[in-house]
Amino acid sequence: MALSDPTPPIQEPLTEPHHAPDKSAGHSRRVFLFKLSLLLNGAVGAILAVPIVGYLLGPALNKKGSSNSWVTLGPLSDFPEGETRLVNYRNPVTTSWDGQTGDIPCWVRRVSGTTFQVFAINCAHLGCPVRWFAQSKLFMCPCHGGAYYQDGSRASGPPERGLFEYDHRIANNNLMIFAGKMPTLANQARVEQPLTQILGADSTARLASVDKTEPRCSSCQT
Amino acid sequence: MPDLKQTGIEVYNWFEQRLGLGAPVIAAAEHEVPSSTSSWWYVFGSGATVILILQIVTGILLALVYAPSAGNAWSSLEFLDHSIRLGWFIRAIHGWGSDFMVAIVLIHLVQVFTFGAYKFPRELTWIIGVFLLLLTLGMAFTGQVLRFDQDAYWGLGIGASILSRVPIIGGQLVDIMLGGPIIAGPTLSRFFALHVFVIPGILLAMVGLHVWMVLRLGINEWPMPGRIVDKKTYVRNYHALTEETGIPFVPDAAWKDAIFAAAMILAVIACALYFGPFGPTGQPDPTIIQTAPKPDFFFLWLYAVLAYLPPNLETPVLFIAPVLGIGAMLLLPIFAGEGEKHWSRRPVAVLMITVIAVALGVFTRLGTYTPWSPIMNAWTSDAIPPAYLHNRTPLERSGALVLQNKQCRNCHSIGGEGGLRGPALDAVAGHMTEDQIFRQVLQGGGNMPAYGNALNPSETTALVRFLSTLHGDLSPAIDASRRMVQSSDSTSSPLSSPQPATTTGH
């Protein structure tokens, strides 16, 4: 104590009891100023919190679908009719330090001619990579044993719906898909058993059309 | 020497005059504890603290080399394992230390629960302890992510898929968790920040509070049957007990903590030397899909639960069960803050601990061999035992080929080889008739896909004929109603099987 304050200032009001009214008057003023300072800091804190919260929530505030864009998977000749093939593409949204994680695989099924289905690699259960078995015409998931038929519909196991499908189109004899975001139950259509709320009737109708097992119509791409 | 000692005391006093920490620390170390608490059962709290310090030290050492970027993390781990002197050993200690820390925190929790230590006045100590458990598990999970390999990549996928099931805001939560649209650079960076700054910071602060409260309220006395905790009398009785039987914590009780800590660190070192570091497994390249992702040991039970939940129960259970479980743990001392502490007077508590421990143990055991997962290469690697092909007709043998080629083995075992997802087929015809096997193969059901589209009629016939020869020691299943129909048609012997396939095999 003595070290910190070699010359303690002697304040008359503090040492002399007959100035007590002044002290208490000063006290209430200082309490007011302290409360004011708290208020000021609260306001500054609130101002500071806005950009901090905005920064933290940034990834969630992107417009829906803004991370998706059309990606070319290759010329149609790469995909023999009646076969299902694994195709890798570079995600349209990447950072330069993503490394291999920016390469995303998907399953392309050419039913016939220009009729395609493009499935996400992620199992609809918990996102593990499903594998295609041409002989039994099944997709199987190594994690919890989900299985899907060749058209992506649920065959057995814990998934509650079929495989996620990408929107696709054919341009200049190339197959393109609308991709960019990891497909999960939250951002993909769920017609079988909606567990989250889908806003608006028209989106429900759109989702219903998306989940048809037939290949996409051209109107789906608009 | 006297001069040196004198100098030492002077140096100490110089610091003590300015810091003033020595006296209270010594007082805290020497504070009296009931002699009954000088027990080997009371060493786990300090053990967890010691291993936390070990984790911090080894974690900092790893951070000297580790590159927390998605493109380089895996290579930097390989570099640590192979190119940095003793890098593998530090990684091994940090990995094994993590398993030991979770284990010891769990043992500590079971011990304080069994000893009724959460009752008055130590309710808040327990509540903070629950958060410490969650934070420890958080460290274990984020640490597994920083070991940025295939398991980490797909583990993040599982985490994101679970979050995506949250009603309404699931999608936003996934975005915040991943830091972008896919599992990539920003994802690893934010798990690095969590593992290295956020969670350890909160963990250390809470450990401080936890230890402070243990010192302030006194260590829980050894419970005795019939010694009831009453808020009015407890503190007085505890002080009386401490005065009566008190011994200084240091050194009279602390030597056991110290020996346990040393033994535990030696065990971590032994595991690190013998088993080496964890992974990394394959590169975090999502295009390499030949992988069967699996979480670390302490999350295997969860992995098993996720496999066994029925699809329509999964989302509710995922989000309601943790809330109930953690809520119950947090509220436990509020609603059971008084009464008996001794386990012999708390049968429900003992039963709960037993049931939970057995359940976690069983699920963890299942998680080690994942009977629900198809074995992706069983159809090409596991051959049908030759005995199962003896005395079979050409049609039945071609059915064995169909069984092999159509990946049936991935889910069904024969001769002990193959997947465990579906039932073993060694004696399938002993409990299913040929018609039932036909129906099951073509239409599936009972968690089996339908193979009607994947098999042509001749393949189906061959397959079912082969399966019909597999009835082990049982007599072939027969359809009682068909036999009645047939016996009414003709007066043939009712004992002979109507199906030629089941009789020609043997």
Q: B144-181 burial string, b = 16+ CB within 10 Å, else e?
A: bbbbbbbbbbbbbbbbbbbbbbbeeebbbbbbbbbbbb
For the segment A81-97, the average pLDDT, to the nearest whole number, is 92
Residues 6+ apart with CB under 8 A from B231: B120, B121, B337, B338
Cα A131 to Cα B459: distance, rounded to the nearest angstrom: 23
CATH class of segment(s) A69-221: mainly beta
CATH class of segment(s) B31-369: mainly alpha
- Kindly tell me if the per-residue pLDDT of B189 is higher than 70: yes
The partner residue sitting opposite B373, judged by closest CB among A145, A155, A160, is: A145
C-beta atoms of B451 and A62 within 8 A = no
Residue A216 — pLDDT band, cuts 50, 70, 90?
Answer: very low
DSSP string, B251-304: IIIHHHHHHHHHHHHHHHHHHHHHH------S-S-TT---------GGGHHHHH
Is the model more confident about A207 or about A86?
A86
E strands, chain A, in order: 69-75, 84-90, 103-112, 115-120, 131-133, 138-140, 147-149, 154-156, 167-171, 174-179
Q: Write out chain A residues lying below 8 Å of B175, CB-based.
A: 59-60, 62
- Candidates A91, A101, A103, A119: best to mutate against B (most CBs of B within 10 A) is A101
- CATH of region B378-504, choose from 1.10.760.10, 3.40.50.880, 3.30.2290.10, 3.90.400.10: 1.10.760.10
C-beta atoms of A136 and B408 within 8 A = yes
The partner residue sitting opposite A59, judged by closest CB among B176, B183, B421, is: B176
Q: Any idea which of A154-168, A187-201, B346-360, B447-461 has the lowest mean pLDDT?
A: A187-201
Query: What tens digit of pLDDT does each residue of A152-186 get?
Result: 999 988 898 999 999 999 999 999 999 998 999 88
Closest C-alpha among B498, B438, B425 to residue B464: B438
CA distance to partner chain A, nearest, from residue B21 (Å): 15
For the segment B360-381, the average pLDDT, to the nearest whole number, is 90
Counting one residue from A and one from B, how many pairs have CB atoms under 8 Å apart?
A: 223
Residue B8 — pLDDT band, cuts 50, 70, 90?
Answer: very high
Residue given tokens 């050993």 in the structure block: B89
Mean pLDDT of chain B: 91
Domain map (residue ranges) of chain A: 20-61, 69-221
For the segment B489-501, the average pLDDT, to the nearest whole number, is 49
Is the model more confident about B227 or about A205?
B227
Query: What tens digit of pLDDT does each residue of A3-34 get?
Result: 444 444 444 445 555 556 667 778 889 999 99
Domain map (residue ranges) of chain B: 31-369, 378-504
Query: What tens digit of pLDDT does each residue of B223-273 get?
Result: 999 999 999 999 999 999 999 999 999 999 999 999 999 999 999 999 999
Q: What is the pLDDT of residue A201?
A: 40
Query: What tens digit of pLDDT does each residue of A54-73 get?
Result: 999 988 887 665 788 999 99
CA distance to partner chain A, nearest, from residue B71 (Å): 4
AA identity, residue B190: R
Q: Is B40 helix (H, G, I), strand (E, B) or coil?
A: helix
Query: What tens digit of pLDDT does each residue of B48-98 get?
Result: 999 999 999 999 999 999 999 999 999 999 999 999 999 999 999 999 999
